[in-house]
Structure 1
Amino acid sequence: MMEIDKIIGKRIEKGRRRKGLLQHELGAAVGRSESWVGQVERGVSTLDSLRMAERMAGALGLTVDHILAFDVRYATVSLVVQSPRSHEPSPRSPHMMSTDAESSETVLRRSFTLGSLAGLTAAIAGLSPDARAQVSRPSGGSVDQATVDELRSIGASYRRSYKSFPASSLVPVAHDQLQLVTSLRPKDQPTLLRNSLLVHMAEMAALAAVLLSLDLGDQEQADAYMDLGYQIAKELGSPELAALILGGRAFRTSYGGDPDGGLDYALAAVDAAERGASKRMRAWTNAVASEMYSSTGDDHGFRSSLEEARTLLSGPMDDERWGGIAWFDLSKADAYEGSDLVRLGRHAEALPSLDKAIERLSPEMLRHRCTAYISRAEAHAGANNVEAACEDGHAALDLVAQVQHRETLRRVTELHRGLRTHKTAGTRSLGEHVIDTRTLLKTAGSAA
């Protein structure tokens, strides 16, 4: 019996009791027997699929991340950040990964229930000419469709976890998924399975890139993962993947001090999405373009792009094709509108949109709420509502501490520098909170 199974069982039992459910009632809700629920709660049996974990989470009103105890599984995972002065590849780089058998078994355990995957090695010694994503190894057996489907389902759960899970834990998860897919030798699989494995690989590369760039501030490694994802997108001719990676590039470039370059990437993402991506991806890329337009001072571009995003979201969706990170809906479109108006200097006009976004964003969307709060804080500051700006700055920092979103920390720091001349109790308190949060994130990075 694994210790992690006991932890999962305790969390399920606690969640069931809080909901006032008996074991047979929970069993009925998830399609299992009372005795099975009892065995899971005692840690004797395990949840046998990610789909069952999602059913359990829905029945108990919990997140899949919490039920599967990701905070325990990944609390001590090593995340080595490459030094800017070093010319050697980081051990966590996609170009240099561990090859020992013990590490391979750990990757398999972390990947939850993947069935029988014999010969897992998790080694990447070099990239293939095709998609720069496959390792030249002796041919082995093919992977069955059920295993690949489950792997993709796990990846979708990890991408959804971006809404609320700490960056320093999710990056190793994405990295391990890349190791796992590589060990399955996609180039040796039948075409449909090969392509599905490569899509999963690109999605995990995109997740790692976004976390490294916006949350952990490691732009060099973020670029490596983006390159990996984009090579796969081109290899497969996938509009969904190309739009996802190009949209991420837009943020990376704009936040790096090149708003015009960010707009170019955003428009390329829109063009890629229009060639056959899901409707939600098309909506998201237009929202990204709206932000990039506002960063360059183009009011018309901002308005037209955001209107297109809302139009796409208002019709029937094809979400089985969504390959994006976390989620994008009308509440997030409201947040984009408010943030865009702040960038355009129209602070009073931005406040209603941000109020609506914060009210409508679901509680588990911690990163999205985090950025909405700092945008509203900036809007309040621009409208000379000092205390309201400080209050929202505190709210943003509380969420930064949970998800490690360093880009928001940077924005709150700038906000405080602009407000500190008021010398109020609120501005002093915000300054102390900034220091505390910076120390907390530094400590978390050292522990990782």
Structure 2
Amino acid sequence: MGRLLDRTLTLTVVGPLVVLVVLSVMAGYLAPSAAGRALALAAFVLFVTAAFAVPQAVLAVALVGAVATMRVPFFGGAMSYADLTMILGTLVALRFAPRRDDVELRRVLVAFAVYFGAIAVVVAANPSTDAVLEWLHRLVLVPGPLLVGVALVRTGAVDVALRAFVLVVGVVALGAVGFAVSSGGQPAYPFDINKNAAGLVMAFALVVTVAARHRLRWAPFLRHPVQGLLLAGLLATQSRGAALALALALVARAVLGASGGRGRQRAMAAGVVALVLMALVAVSVSERDLAPDASPGNAVATRAEVFGQALDLWREQPVLGAGVRYFTDPDLETSVAHNIVVNELGEAGVVGLAGVVLVLWVTWRAVRRSRSDLAMLGTMIFVVEVVAALLDVFWVAGRVGCAYVFIGMALAEARGHREPPASPARRYDARLDAGAA
């Protein structure tokens, strides 16, 4: 009876809306002068349809879309696909707003509200269009993704979303390997994605295959090759920050999650992988990187010069900084600092840095207190994100939102959650655990 009701609902509600989408697209072809409006109407109708009929799909796309940092052509290049999908996902996630008993989740949201208010003061002191837009943009980077992660748990779509994310990132990893091979070993920019951004999402995907493998429910013969592909893609990007962040996340898992014989075996394996990644990061430092001049390709000297410029601006205005996105001012002749501490001091002074530290500290305490089966996933993702933030730009589309979706999953208590039937992967792990004990 339930299936019949679902089919009836699909035919009577979803069917007409899909027909309307098709007609809108056809109108665009029949009336080229109104093609843009017709496509916009079609996209709006499609979103409304999905939001009510299959909200899980919109939420999952918000997570997977974090990989797509390319710019959307319809907004004059001012918005990325990652931001667009996250905004749409957040609108759907509002239906599953945090409940009163989501204590840790609420604490993180309150901490961000404090930071958001502090940045409002900074924007008021140093007003500009870029500053206001970036101030609003940060709503898309933290609270929105948190709500998306919670909604994925509440709608029971976590497993599907995690599998989709790993598979999509696997395609990006394959593109990175192909790029590296065809370019003779140059850093990979797969599908025009920045190498550091690509490396970081591969690190996230690897963490998922380690800390949430019980949700993926993939047998070892499938999971291990996927992990190998992701690791190869990460190395192809030559993103040292992402590799180091992944290594330290594995160390954190070994230290915080090891228990029993099987736990010690996993800790040793994680330690070996972490040491290998750290060694690769160390040997990748070239003579050009250590040269004293900031020549093109000299990452260390170039970043040191930008750090010095940011700190000089902070010394002039230590409390409120030089303003959000100060580096877009052509008169300053500088760029964004690839370090969350230095950049926050330059942009928002001591006020902004204190706000960021508050948000990160409350987030860390929340994931460590979580009773969810995804708590370790949230912990490892947090470590990856913070380490990468010390070595790269923090407030950018994709990376922050993606991390906070996973953290939102970890903070949402899945009441009524039932363990799935034992899959080959779970039976395999159970046999290993029994043997180790």
TM-score range, shorter chain: 0.3 to 0.5
Q: TM-score, normalised by structure 1?
A: 0.32
Q: TM-score, normalised by structure 2?
A: 0.32
**Which structure is higher in RCO with an 8 Å CA cutoff and minimum separation 6?**
2
Question: As a proportion of its length, which structure holds more helix?
Answer: 2
